[in-house]
Amino acid sequence: MNEKIEKGSNNMNAPSLLMYFSVLAGVLGALNLGLVMGYSSPAIVDLVKEREQALMENKTFILRNEKDRSWIASAGAAGAMFGVPFSSMLGRKATLILNCVPFILGWSLISLAHATWMIICGRFVTGIAAGLASGVVSIYAMEISPIYMRGAVMANGGSTLAATMGIFLNWRWLAMACCIPSVIMPFMMIFAPESPVYMMSKYGYSKKTITTLKKLRREHGDVLTNELNEIASQAQNKAPLIVSKEQLKESIACKPLLVLMALFVFQQLAGITAVGFYQTSIFVESNIRMNSHICNALVTLAPLSVVIISSFVIDKSGRKLLLYLSGMGTISSLILLSFYFWYKSTPSFTQNYGWVSIIALILYQGSVALGFNSIPWILVAEMTPYFARSFISSICTFTVWSLAFLTTKFFDDLKDSLTPQRAYLFFAMTTCFGVLFVKFFVPETKMKTIDEILSYFTRKANLTDRKKTIMTCNTEV
């Protein structure tokens, strides 16, 4: 049961076509999340231009002042703080279907907006849905996938899609277009089965659970029995949204929680959300001659390409290696972007070297997509015991989106206080500490069962207890 599952072993169960379809349907939730993340970058620039043009022509406009743009950008992250997963109560499938409702309501409110507050409210509502999706999508995808391919199921082209559509559509029509995947997703999820892990926790080793897993796998017999036993070991207890104080004190719950929270802190202090939400505005500020919307769309192709490639190598290379490469690339790109802004006030420099800002942001977005943006969410599903998984996912969701809100809301203030170049250097410095944290505190989960992963934390706890015992004995002597 606790042996490593390697390719070619008898424990490996091939996925069915329905599993691929179910993952695709579930990952539409990640696409919706990406659309929320990518919307503000092109939309804010459109709203600012619309305001400037309306002022010249003495017409009415929606954006009251440029400070409103920080609320429009950050409102999505503010809403995501309250996107607490209810997947342990409703099930993964039902949660993903119902989550499309706030997406549709929020995008409709934005597209019909006639005042700034309506856009902010619409962003807040879509943010609630995005926060829920950020936790549930990864858990659903991991729980329906065989162990050997858990890392190959996450892909998110929502930001790229929003940026590309932003070239051709204004902010209002862009919101309407962003609503389409939320309308399609429920009809696809109807045909997707529930997570077998959730079924095991609710119905136990029953016919319903076995039938659910059979739909997701091509091989049955002993191979299916082995996987059912593995799922049963994860679902011995139901996964409540709130765990008891005693359960939280267990090293297999509290230590993964602390590691994951720290990872998300370093993720946001690398500027991932702030830079992404303001990316088109950054190109406007860089004085580059190229159209800022086209620059934004080009840059968003980098993370999409990297995520697709990394999804096929993550289980071969491991999570930690990708986090190392992600961190080093993020640091290098932020230093390069800072260098550009040091000299961008010189007209001849921006005329001859404006391409440097594009290269820096392509490297930045590609680097964060390689590891720091996606792998922490995968680790939420891989590093947590089932009885605490929904609770830990909720805490991590709140932590990451709280920091995303703060970094986005005060990004303009940070640049005004430190200057843009020093702000990017600050993000680079915090990422350095993030890489060191990965080195010393994050376990490798590559090709390991949940028991093997959790033993990393219990082993350290036992070692600490032994050291305390030895010290106590020496003191008594």
For a pLDDT cut of 90, what percent of the chain falls above it? 36
pLDDT above 50 for 152 = no
Nearest to 105 by CA among 89, 90, 126: 126
CB-CB neighbours of 476 under 10 Å: 6
10 Å CB burial of residue 214 (0-12, 13-18, 19+) is: middle
Q: What is the pLDDT of residue 234?
A: 62
Q: What is the pLDDT of residue 186?
A: 92
CATH number attached to the domain at 17-476: 1.20.1250.20
Q: What is the pLDDT of residue 56?
A: 76
Which of 81-90, 112-121, 176-185, 271-280 comes out lowest in average pLDDT?
81-90
- Dist CA 400 CA 152 (whole Å): 23
Which of 25-39, 137-151, 182-196 comes out lowest in average pLDDT?
137-151
CB-side exposure of 301: number of CA atoms within 13 Å? 9
* Residue-wise pLDDT tens digits, 289-300: 889 999 999 998
Identify the three-state secondary structure at position 416.
Answer: helix
pLDDT above 90 for 309 = no
* Residue-wise pLDDT tens digits, 417-439: 999 999 999 999 999 999 999 99
pLDDT above 50 for 3 = no
Is the distance from CB of 250 to CB of 455 less than 8 angstroms? no
Task: Give me 217's structure tokens.
Answer: 């796998």
Q: What is the pLDDT of residue 196?
A: 83
Place of tokens 């440029």: 66
pTM for the whole thing?
0.78
Which of 133-142, 172-181, 253-262 comes out lowest in average pLDDT?
133-142
Is the distance from CB of 98 to CB of 105 less than 8 angstroms? no
- Dist CA 217 CA 232 (whole Å): 17
Between 49 and 432, name the one with better pLDDT. Answer: 432
Is the distance from CB of 320 to CB of 436 less than 8 angstroms? no
Query: What is the chain's mean pLDDT, rounded?
Result: 82
pLDDT above 50 for 30 = yes
Which of 104-108, 324-328, 349-353 comes out lowest in average pLDDT?
349-353
CB-side exposure of 198: number of CA atoms within 13 Å? 23
Between 383 and 12, name the one with better pLDDT. Answer: 383
The partner residues of 217 in beta bridges, in order of sequence, read: 15
Which of 35-49, 69-83, 142-156 comes out lowest in average pLDDT?
142-156
Between 236 and 375, name the one with better pLDDT. Answer: 375
Give residue 174's pLDDT band: very low, low, confident or very high (50, 70, 90).
very high
Q: What is the pLDDT of residue 155?
A: 46
Give residue 53's pLDDT band: very low, low, confident or very high (50, 70, 90).
confident
* Residue-wise pLDDT tens digits, 366-407: 999 888 988 898 888 788 887 787 788 778 878 888 999 999
Identify the three-state secondary structure at position 2.
Answer: coil
Between 180 and 13, name the one with better pLDDT. Answer: 180
Q: What is the pLDDT of residue 314?
A: 72
Task: Give me 263's structure tokens.
Answer: 């990872």
Q: What is the mean pLDDT of residues 233-260?
A: 73
Is the distance from CB of 392 to CB of 461 less than 8 angstroms? no
Q: What is the pLDDT of residue 84?
A: 62
Nearest to 174 by CA among 227, 132, 207, 126: 126
Q: Count the helices and strands in the chain (H runs, E runs).
A: 25, 0
Place of tokens 């342990």: 88
pLDDT above 60 for 332 = yes
23 to each of 93, 129, 131, 383, how far by Cα in Å?
11, 19, 19, 20
Identify the three-state secondary structure at position 377.
Answer: helix
Q: What is the pLDDT of residue 446?
A: 79
Domain boundaries, the chain: 17-476
How far, in whole angstroms, is CA 78 from its chain's centroid?
15
pLDDT above 60 for 248 = yes
For 84, which DSSP code? Answer: -
pLDDT above 70 for 328 = yes
Which of 304-308, 406-410, 427-431 comes out lowest in average pLDDT?
304-308
